[in-house]
Structure 1
Amino acid sequence: MDIRVAACRTERSVVEMKPTCLLAGAAAGAAATILRHILVTRRSIASVAPELRSIGLYFNYSFARPWMLPLGRRLLDRPTAVPEGASVRTVSLPSEDGSFDVFIYEPLRRERRTGALLWIHGGGHILGTAAGDHSWCTEIAEDLGVPVISVDYRIGAFPLDLDDCFTALKWLHDSANSLNIDDSRIAIGGGSAGGGLAVALAQRAFDQGIPVSFQMLEYPMLDDRTGLRPDPAGRGRFAWTPTLNRMAWRVYLGHKPGLLESRPYAVPARRQNLSGLPPAWIGVGSLDLFHDENLEYARRLNSAGVSCEVHVEDGMYHGADAAMVTAITSGFRSRMIESLRPHVS
């Protein structure tokens, strides 16, 4: 009997230990995964320009899932401060289901008719707000002495955002006289997904006969197939990863990236004929996931007879210029502004 009791106690002890062992095993597995991520990231950081390195580069964004988007929007969609003395006002424009806003940044001293920039904020088509670019749009307006109109477009599946941007562009042309704007010098620009929207808007405007003088494109998001391709150069390790890119395109298009897409302007890089589009400037970092798709689009523009200047910032990853102010990021943004100057001033 003693032997049977001892056996029963042993069996019970094993059963009781199983959950603890499972938890310990899971913790060990998670720790190993984190350690591997840290070691791989540490090696990758060696390719980042020293002044762009930060502890935030160790954060792994690839765990993000579509159901996390509402939380991400609450945490990340925050306005930047409007610089003191800047002139900013809001105008509401109609959309199919209500309205959306545009911010108008007017330079403090403008005594003559000038061109203007229609700016489109980024966020991967899934995040972002125009108010997040208050300081940037004010900087452009003050530096160039021209109005900047920033579109607070609806976030959602294609074509909500592009429709709003197109409405804003038409409104800007229609309001040119009242805003003291030369409608032959209206340029468009944007960053990341906003850059991709600017490209799509330029294509749509050209097809419908609406003039655009220039495209100022900050590492534009152009091609849903990018996240499906291996990149031996190791791009896309920081901030905007292939995993995030695939998720964002899937949410935006309503289907997996890489599938047949027949809707015009949904994926700007898939447009076959680029002739006749406005001249462009594209800036991108050498470590940016969009590096290759940006250079390929620029090559196709030039081959189609469209002037496109490209600047590749060595050692810069996606969004670094929006995250920190350094000599590299300030220089990058100055190049962007200077590319725009002849087309709007």
Structure 2
Amino acid sequence: MSYAVDPELAHWLPGIPEIDVGDARKARETERSLSARCPEPDLAGLTVEDREVPGRHGAPPVPVRVYRPRQGSGRLPAVLHMHSGGFVSGGLHTEHAGAAAIAESVGAVVVSVDYRLAPEHPHPAAVVDCYAALLWLAETAEDLGVDPACIAVSGQNAGGGLAAAVALLARDCGGPALTFQALGTPALDDRLATESMWTCVDTPVWHRGNAKQSWAAYLGDEAGGPRVSSYAAPARATDLTRLPPAYVTASQFDPFRDEALEYARRLAQANVPVELHLYPGTFHGSTFVAGAAVSRRIAADLVDALRRVLAVAPPASARLP
């Protein structure tokens, strides 16, 4: 099928390698090679520290990376960020530049979570790790210089689904009250039943085949079945009331497109403030082409939304990713 990909993005398509999610080792190697192409961020305006969060219920410690603006004073808002990678790849390196740019551009403390990966660690390992990081962030807010009443969660792709799951857990378990959830092209529904999931079978980077393998790695034989928890696949949640305000993005040529649109619609129906952006001509992971105008717009829109919701004035030295 032919897709009307944004011309700036289309120029880079021949150089983007095929991702095979069915082979976790190979997928991780490919992701590492893509991440290595990204320029190192300028960290002069930040302090960056790697720490470990105590695991929950006997789970191992969770590595996190904390980014704090040097110009920030007093208690700052915080963003707990979950990386992309289809549940099987990625880590602190994956969105190092993006997390650093958000910390500096928004003027917030960003805590990036290195959650355990499938298939070695299937659900609920990833969401348990992310929720442990949220609890730690709230409990150590004073030490981190964070305002515990101003914490957001964010994520891209699989990380967007994990951010939605953490928001559900925080509501249902009496966890920290979240200010915001930013869900970037999120993976929300293991049932693979939307129109975009059926039609996006040969889209760049990510397609139905990869989505199916990703959910199988994360959920095993239960993927698509009746017993999957909403904390694994947030689209299965029947009650979306009392969730934090949401910012949801979708890419036009992405199998996740329609589940993101539907989740935003259901949040709005549940009286949750929601802002939705569908970016034309984009595909899953197209922000890898950071210099394209649409990629810069995606980054700028997210920063603007975080600033507005977290009530942060733009730092004088702010740079967008």
With the length of structure 1 as denominator, give the TM-score of the two structures. Answer: 0.81
| 1:147 paired to 2:109 | yes
Q: Which runs of 5+ in 1 are unaligned?
A: 1-39
1:132 aligns to what? 94
1:181 pairs with one of 128, 146, 171: 146
**Amino acid corresponding to residue 291 of structure 1 in structure 2:** R
Per the alignment, residue 88 of structure 1 pairs with 48
Matched, 1:271 2:228: no
Which has the larger Rg?
A: 1
Unaligned stretches of 5+ residues in structure 2: 313-321
Q: Which amino acid aligns with 1:223?
A: D
1:228-266 residue CA offsets vs partner (Å, 9 max, x unmatched):
757676576111110000011011001163211243411
Question: Between Structure 1 and Structure 2, how many residues are aligned?
Answer: 300
Which residue, 190, 207, 212 being the options, matches 2:172?
Answer: 207
- In proportion to residue count, which structure has more helix? 1
Cα deviations by residue, 1:138-183 (Å, 9 ceiling, x for unpaired) = 1111111111000011112001110010100000000111222111
Matches for 1:191-230 after TM superposition, within 5 Å: 191-210=156-175, 211-226=177-192
Alignment partner of 1:303 out of 266, 269, 272: 269
Of 255, 274, 277, which residue of structure 2 is paired with 1:289? 255
Q: Distance in 2 between matches of 1:123 and 1:52?
A: 20
CA RMSD, 1 decimal: 2.1
- How many angstroms apart in 1 are the aligned matches of 2:155 and 2:21? 25
The percent identity for this pair of structures is 32
1:259 counterpart letter in structure 2: G
Inter-partner Cα distance in structure 1 for 2:264 and 2:238:
13
Correspondence for 2:77: 115
Report the Cα offset of residue 105 of structure 1: 0.5
Tell me whether 52-61 or 320-329 shows the greater mean CA deviation: 52-61
Map 1:321-336 onto structure 2 (within 5 A): 321-336=287-302
CA 1:142 to 1:65, structure 2 compared with 1: closer, same or farther past 3 Å? closer
CA distance in 2, matches of 1:143, 1:264: 33
2:39 equivalent to 1:73: no
The equivalent residue for 1:316 is 282
Report if aligned partners of 1:57, 1:239 keep a CA contact under 8 Å in 2: no
CA deviation string 1:10-54 (max 9, x = no partner): xxxxxxxxxxxxxxxxxxxxxxxxxxxxxx5xx33xx10111113
Counterpart-to-counterpart distance in 2, 1:90 and 1:147: 13
Q: Larger relative CO (CA 8 A, sep 6+): 1 or 2?
A: 2
Q: 2: CA distance between counterparts of 1:83 and 1:192?
A: 25
Q: Assess if the C-alpha contact under 8 Å between 1:235 and 1:286 holds in 2.
A: no
